[in-house]
Structure 1
């Protein structure tokens, strides 16, 4: 077991940190204000800097590095804001990896390199009005008709809805009950029969627009079937990596908050001295540091144990559950230490707090991760319906 980053990993981390701190804070403020996603120009800039598809094989346009390297970079961007980090998330640990692993060769080679070049953004669309935590209750149906697939249904809470270039849509591809009929198709923006609901107004995640997706006899090529019916287990295995990405986005809110508040408490003076001199502040800082380090170690363990494959459900759920929980606590404590400055929208702290609550809901709520953990511990699945 090695707890030290390699020289190459440290160099990559420094490059990501320097770029993010120098160029992204003002952009993050704009995205928060306007609730708009990063521009295509910015995403292409990420690609030019080598920050997209870090763990995607080089033959598909990525850097060919490991999952750990991707998560190291993701945290540095997430420290600035969730919105500026989201293209990194989508290209390294999101739906693009499912396409890379499971899609037909022609689709894979058309989509994945385009994402790594910053020319295409792909979002995942899983939830529905009546299927969130109970994902196998989804109703969206895709019917193969010759060389075409006809999709009907409604998707909800799609981060990227309305602005992404394509969507990995979980749907039913046969009449088998439960998970046995579930697979996934890629629906590109502009496909006949695809429309979008209004932009959701959420507590946080501004700059990561979310909307409903409506499929009304939506027509796509049959080659856009990424995972056929019966492939739900494959999809969820790929989603174990996305859990690590979600956990890292939450971690970034906490570690960014901790870095900022450490500067603040040494500059802010009350009663004639910096507030860092007060023992109560020192104790709170120590608690925050312990939580951040523990979350990072759990996430990195999940990535390392997978040896650049897909993490286990146990490791990924442990990392996500803990990081989601401590992010809310650490950002809350940091906001309290900064007082009115933390509560003000002129500073990023309150945004981090709001986003931290979102990461504990997105991608599987905290309590769902706990049921995953218990199931993995005991070697069985628990039927929540009975």
Structure 2
């Protein structure tokens, strides 16, 4: 087993860290009001980051999931809003277009994703159903070579910036999981309307989108059969990229805590000299490293998508760990940590999203628990590598 990153991966990480610390982190506060970080997006496009999930034939880099996670981790240390904006370009929606969309869509959208000129949005959650995909009501009715999209999606990121929306919906009213498919709809389509906006504690803006009898060509239905399985397969990548942001937020808060403990004094000496403070750092570092190991291993399982249960475990742990570590960072900073003058406040607010998006912690625990009960061998137990 080799637990080391390659020279190429280390070079990518160092480049992104340099840019994040020098450019993104100093201006992170300006994006907390919902302003989209276009300046940062264009800078990352120059570096090729936005094309990490795009195949080389469309101008991208076609990098593995692990490389993508490494980059998001570094960006999140400095700016959660930018990391989430990049997630939209390297996550599920881009991979679905690259895998399932007609060729002319790939040729038009994917190079524009790489250059930062096409932001993509994915539409899944509905007002009455989030994790409960099988009960989505948004529907595509197929009639000859035309289709009509009708429904509502909510809590959608990047709505005001998106050039195209990847919408998971029911196909011809078919019930249950078997009826789920996916349609691609571009900005400006008649009937597409933004009906509500929500500002989040992490700084992002989310929105509600209505599809009021949007008429589209049949070719816009990019997944028609076996949509639920294809969705979950692609979404396992998201369940590695979401926790990579959580990991980065925890690392950013940890680094700020080390700096504070070395510079702040109390009772005549640096507070880092107190055993209780050193124990906090040790526990934070331990939790971060455990999360890193779980996440990197899940990413490395991708072929082309990560193992669903390893991804679920990594997401569960990293999301919860990030909440703990960023909260502890605020405690270390005392009253200053509760102010916007110190980055830990911003990092804490971003961390809270992790357990909600891409599959809640409760849903993933249930998924893993069912697998454990179904696969456990009464004689031999589990394999030593713990891969079920």
TM alignment of 1:241-252, pairs within 5 A: 241-252=237-248
Which position in structure 1 is the counterpart of 2:22?
22
Q: Aligned to 1:346, which of 336, 341, 350? A: 341
Q: Segments of 4+ in structure 1 off by > 6 A?
A: none
Indicate the SS of the match to 2:109: helix
Q: Aligned to 1:205, which of 185, 202, 212? A: 202
Which position in structure 1 is the counterpart of 2:37?
38
Q: Distance in 2 between matches of 1:219 and 1:275?
A: 64
Q: Aligned to 2:140, which of 136, 139, 142? A: 142
Shift of 1:252: 1.3
Indicate the SS of the match to 2:49: coil
Which position in structure 2 is the counterpart of 1:259?
255
Q: Aligned to 2:50, which of 49, 52, 60? A: 52
Indicate the SS of the match to 1:24: helix
Contact kept in structure 2, 1:120 and 1:165, CA below 8 Å: yes
1:177 aligns with 2:172: no
| Mean CA deviation greater in 276-285 or 225-234 | 225-234
Shift of 1:347: 1.8
Contact kept in structure 2, 1:91 and 1:97, CA below 8 Å: no
TM-score, normalising length from structure 2?
0.93
Shift of 1:227: 0.9
Indicate the SS of the match to 1:210: strand
Q: Aligned to 2:63, which of 65, 68, 86? A: 65
Indicate the SS of the match to 2:152: strand
Shift of 1:379: 4.0
Q: Distance in 2 between matches of 1:5 and 1:128?
A: 40
1:368 aligns with 2:363: yes
Q: Distance in 2 between matches of 1:136 and 1:318?
A: 23
TM alignment of 1:65-214, pairs within 5 A: 65-202=63-200, 204-206=201-203, 208-214=204-210
Q: Aligned to 1:224, which of 216, 220, 223? A: 220
**Runs (5+) with no aligned partner, structure 2:** 376-388
TM alignment of 1:227-376, pairs within 5 A: 227-307=223-303, 309-376=304-371
Closer, same or farther: CA 101–379 of 1 in aligned 2, 3 Å: farther
Deviations 1:68-108 (CA, angstroms, capped at 9, x unpaired): 11111110001112211123212222311111112222222
Indicate the SS of the match to 1:287: helix
Deviations 1:15-56 (CA, angstroms, capped at 9, x unpaired): 000011111123311111x212112x5423211111112243
Q: Distance in 1 between matches of 2:245 and 2:170?
A: 30
Q: Distance in 2 between matches of 1:372 and 1:81?
A: 31
Closer, same or farther: CA 278–311 of 1 in aligned 2, 3 Å: same
**Runs (5+) with no aligned partner, structure 1:** 381-386
Q: Distance in 2 between matches of 1:35 and 1:101?
A: 31
| Mean CA deviation greater in 323-332 or 84-93 | 84-93
Q: Distance in 1 between matches of 2:116 and 2:324?
A: 35
Deviations 1:108-149 (CA, angstroms, capped at 9, x unpaired): 222222111111010111010111121211000111233332
Contact kept in structure 2, 1:253 and 1:356, CA below 8 Å: yes
Contact kept in structure 2, 1:52 and 1:87, CA below 8 Å: no
| Mean CA deviation greater in 149-158 or 217-226 | 217-226
Contact kept in structure 1, 2:237 and 2:305, CA below 8 Å: yes
Q: Distance in 2 between matches of 1:362 and 1:205?
A: 13
| Mean CA deviation greater in 171-180 or 103-112 | 103-112
Q: Distance in 2 between matches of 1:150 and 1:360?
A: 34
TM-score, normalising length from structure 1?
0.94
| Mean CA deviation greater in 1-10 or 235-244 | 1-10
Q: Distance in 1 between matches of 2:181 and 2:108?
A: 20
Q: Distance in 2 between matches of 1:46 and 1:359?
A: 23
Shift of 1:197: 2.2
